[in-house]
Structures are given as structure tokens and as C-alpha cells.
Structure 1
Amino acid sequence: MQKIILLLVLTTLNLTFSQTKKKQILLIGTFHFQNPGLDVAQINAFNVMSDKSQKELENIANKIKKFGPDKIFVEWNYQKQDKLDQFYSKNTDSLLQKKVDEITQLALRAAKKLGHTKLFAIDYKNTVFPYDSLVKGMTAAGQLDLITKDEEDMKQFEANQNKKIAKFSLTELILDFNTKVSNEQNIGWYIETALKGGKTDNFVGAFLVSEWYKRNLYMYALIKKLTESKDDKVMVLLGAGHAAMLREFIAHDPTFEIVELATVLK
């Protein structure tokens, strides 16, 4: 009898769990509009302030408004939310005319159209990215083939992205950064190349990868903490590498279901 009761309870819990409505998350990975040169890969600048690009940004923001996220999360140090609040409160037209970054041009633009009172900062900065140490570790380990592969892959990635920047419209470029191929490339380098860096007793590669995972995992933790029960839809705007990682976390989280940007822009 106890076994029957336990099975009934478990069945009820499973049914309740499966019937819980998932929250929709519009996850947008992008290149950095301002291209400050802070990433390992050096990508040419794209003119998001041209008339054509500004019209595209207006269209994207209007489509996001139609989607209707209750909150918008951005790549801004979470410990400086007060600075983001001050920034958000400034004159919108002035910001859109002067600030080139994606937080202003896309997230702030969309949030203002939605009548939001703020953007939510989720970037976690207390990690390191020891790329120089990784290269030194590879050199000390005699991993010349791995170093060559790393350099060739980086050059190929930069060349491919710069060709797209020269050819694609802003909308096409952003959509391309959110394809399955792009997401796999963003994660693949960490697992295929970086992870192997260093001698068998030197885990510099694994350390770099773990720090990257940590940063993104902490960012996702903030999204979950800041998403309230009343929020049915949220939007997240991050660099494409971060967005690719978050997709991996969301795939195993019954709370959210991803809504693709391509679907929203139809």
C-alpha cells in the first residue's frame, strides 16, 4: 500500500512538473558594436550609426516590443547596477545619437519602447581569462601543433567575420551570430583547443575554460534570481560567446524555453 501511495505522489508531482508553463527567454548573442578590441579575436568595426543600420535597429526594437519581454538583461557589471540605472535615466535621444554600444542601441532602445523603468545588469567580472598563460603553457609542453591550430583557427574566424561585416546588413549579421554553427564555434574552441593546453600536470587550459564557464554560469544564476514568478518573458543581450554558453545551461533547465530572434523578427 505504501508503495502504491508513493507511486501516486510521484506521478502527481511529475504531472504538475510537466504542466508548469515555461518562461520564454529571447536570447540574443551579438558582436560588440563599439568593437573595443577587448576580445582575443580582432574584428573590424561595423557602422551601426548609418541611416540604414539605425532603421534596422528601430525595426528590431519594434519587433522586440511586440514580443513583450517583462525584463531585459544586459552585459553590464552586476555590482554596478546603480551606474546602469543612472545611465538609463539619461536623455534617450541623446544616448542613441552618441553611444555606439549594443546595450544602448538595442537593449535600451527596446526597453524604452516597452516602457520599462530599467535594464538589469548581470555580467560577473570576478574571473580571469589567462590567454597569454595558455599560450605559454602550450609552448612549455611542446604543443606546437596545438599552437599552430589555435593561430590558424583564429585567423580564419577573423577573416570570415570581417567578410560578413563587409557584406551583411546589421540584421543579417546579428542573425548569423545566433545560428547553430556560430554557437558551436563559440563553445568548440574551449573544449577542442583550450582545454588541452599545458603539460599533464599543468591545467592552465582547463583553468581558463573553468573561469569562462564560471563567468557565464554566474550570469545565468543572476538571470534566474532576478526573474520573478510574474515574468512570463525575458530578453538577454550578450556577446555571442556568452549567449552560446547560456544556451547550454537553458537546455537543461525546465524553467525556460528559448525563443529565437529569427522567429521574433518574422
Structure 2
Amino acid sequence: MLVRWLLTTMLSSATATSAQPYLLVLGVPHFANHHRDIVNANVEDVLTPARQREIERLVTALAATRPNHVAVEWSTTKQASLDERYAAYRAGRYVLSSDEVDQIGLRLAVMLNLPRVDAVNWLEEAPGTDDDYDFGKWLTAHGRSDELAKLTADGQQRTDARDALNRCRPIADWLRDLNSPAYVAWDDSLYFRIANFGDAVNNPGAAWVGAWHARNLRIAGNLRRIAGEPGDRTVAVFGAGHADLLRRYGTGMGFEVANTNAALPPPTRSRCLAK
């Protein structure tokens, strides 16, 4: 069944003709549980044999889209360190960590025998001062700190429920959920709530959301620079919060943006995996 599906995917890609560069953005949870966001997933160990088989199946499906670039959430200023890691992995001197850069990005690039993995993230300081973006401080000063507490609690409750469900379904289904229109709409709603954390004179919430959009515009611009020529085909692996913006900005920058979920392995029956 998987072989037939992969063959169909490859034939469909091969017969498609477009002068536009191709971009598939794969939104993922942070497999290594960095916990740097307002709302954080708690991903179970992806290094177990069962989860590793699922990742291999996922990467095989992504390879069927025939990318000649794999781009990851790694700062452009640190491309050299990513090159070193990739070279060590290709030479058998590096064991993959649980991070999605390794598990999906490096693994996919090696499967395709690509010369490098592209670092396209932007992590520099936004213009202005910290206070320009500190909506938490503003809310506290204006007696509205409960609004941030509610947003965080609502988001974490929903994320925790998804984490519980994920323990009983394969990784491809985690990603199908995170790249669905329903998840995108919910994720967008959080940013729009944050954008109202301010007033007509000083709105650090709107400034923070604006900086988030600016960051993703820079990332999309980096993608365009490294893989924006006709015939280029890119799989970009990023935290799920980035994915929809990168798709939108990628479209605006001239990419043929793929339907991510159509490239994932077919859904399978949910079941609880033994730990």
C-alpha cells in the first residue's frame, strides 16, 4: 500500500510542469522539547524503535517529492556548524539527536544524497527596546495580567490534550494535525489575541506579533535566496507556528507551495504504543 502510494506521488510530481520553484513546509512540534514558546508541547521520546520506524516512513514519503534542498530551523549565521554536523553524520561520526533538524532534516538530506542542509532561520534582535515588545509587563502594569494567564492556560490545555492523543497515534498523524486548516486557524487566533495587548498609544502585543511576522518574512526571503530558481524543490522543516506564515509568504514570493498533508504517509489506525 505504501509502495503504491509513493509511486503515485512520484509520478504526479514528475509530470507536473511549473516555472515556479516548489516549496513544501512541514510544521512540526519541537521533538527535543525546547520549551521556549508561550505554549509548549511535551513530545514523548522519538528515539524509541517504534518511533524511529515511523520517522523513517515519514522521511521516505518526503523524499518522494524529489527535493533538491532541505531547509531547517537553524540560524543562517551558523551554517558552518550545521555543515559540520551534516558532514559528520554522512561519515558515520554523528548519532542523531531527538531534534527534528536531525531526525527529519539530516536524515532526509542523506537519503537524497544532497551536498548540504540549508540553514534559513533568522534569530537576530528586532529593532527597538525590550519594553517595546514586553506585553506581559504592559498587562501587569494595566491590571490585565489575567488575560495572558488565560491565553496561556487555554493554549496549554489544548496542547496537552493533543499530546495525550499523540501517544496513541503515529508521528505522521501528529504532523497531519499540526498542518491542518483547523490547527492553523487556532494558532492564528492566539496571535490575534496577543495583538490586542496594548492601547492606542503603546501596543507591545501588536509590536511583538509584528516582529513575529517580520521574522517569518525574513525566513521566507532566505528560502527564496537559496532555492528560488525554476526547478528548485525544497522541503522546509520548521516549528508548526511558522508553517502557515511561510506558506503564505512563500506564495507571495513566487513559490509553488505544496499541500503538506498530501505529501505525508497515508493515515493509519491509531493505537497506543508500548513504552
> TM-score, length-normalised on structure 2?
0.81
SS at match of 1:245: helix
The aligned runs of 1:173-184 (5 Å cut-off) are 173-184=174-185
1:117-196 aligned at under 5 Å gives the runs 117-127=115-125, 133-143=134-144, 146-191=147-192, 193-196=193-196
Structure 2: 5+ residue stretches without partners: 1-16, 267-275
**Counterpart amino acid of residue 167 in structure 2:** A
In 1, Cα distance between equivalents of 2:228 and 2:156: 43
Number of residues of Structure 1 aligned to a counterpart in Structure 2: 246
Bigger CA drift: 100-109 or 243-252?
Answer: 243-252
The SS at the match of 2:246 is helix
> 2:212 maps to what in 1?
212
Map of 1:42 onto structure 2 = 40
Change (3 A) 1:80 1:231: farther
CA contact (8 A) 2:46 2:52 kept: yes
Identity in percent = 23
Rg larger for: 1
Which has the larger share of helix?
A: 1
1:160 aligned partner, one-letter code: A
Is 2:23–2:234's contact at 8 Å kept on the other side of the alignment?
Answer: yes
Please list every run of 5 or more consecutive structure 1 residues that lacks an aligned counterpart in the other structure.
1-18
Per-residue CA distance 1:52-82 (angstroms, 9 max, x = gap): 1111111111122221101011000101111
Following the alignment from structure 1 to structure 2, what is the Cα–Cα distance between the partners of residues 118 and 147?
41
1:257 aligns with 2:257: yes
Give the superposition deviation at 1:155.
3.1
* Residue aligned with 2:26, SS: strand
Whole-angstrom CA distance in 1 between matches of 2:57 and 2:167: 21
Q: Distance in 2 between matches of 1:91 and 1:238?
A: 20
Superimposed CA distance per residue, residues 179-212 of structure 1 (whole angstroms, 9 cap, x where no aligned partner) = 1111222222111x11111233211111111111
How far 1:94 moved relative to its partner?
A: 5.2
CA contact (8 A) 1:33 1:101 kept: yes
> Would you say the 8 A contact 1:22–1:257 is kept in 2?
no
Specify the alignment match of 1:197 in structure 2: 197
The Cα shift of 1:130 comes to 7.5
Q: Structure 2 vs 1, CA of residues 123 and 254 (structure 1 numbering), >3 Å: closer, same or farther? A: closer
Corresponding residue SS for 1:196:
coil
Separation in 2, partners of 1:224, 1:36:
27
- 32-41 vs 243-252, greater mean Cα deviation: 243-252
CA RMSD of aligned residues (A): 2.4
Please name the residue that 1:100 is paired with. 98
Deviations 1:198-245 (A, max 9, x none): 233211111111111111110000001111425332111000001121
CA-to-partner distance for each residue in 1:107-163, whole Å, 9 max, x for gaps? 111110101010000110013588992122123233366335413322323322322
Code of the residue aligned with 1:75 in structure 2: it is E
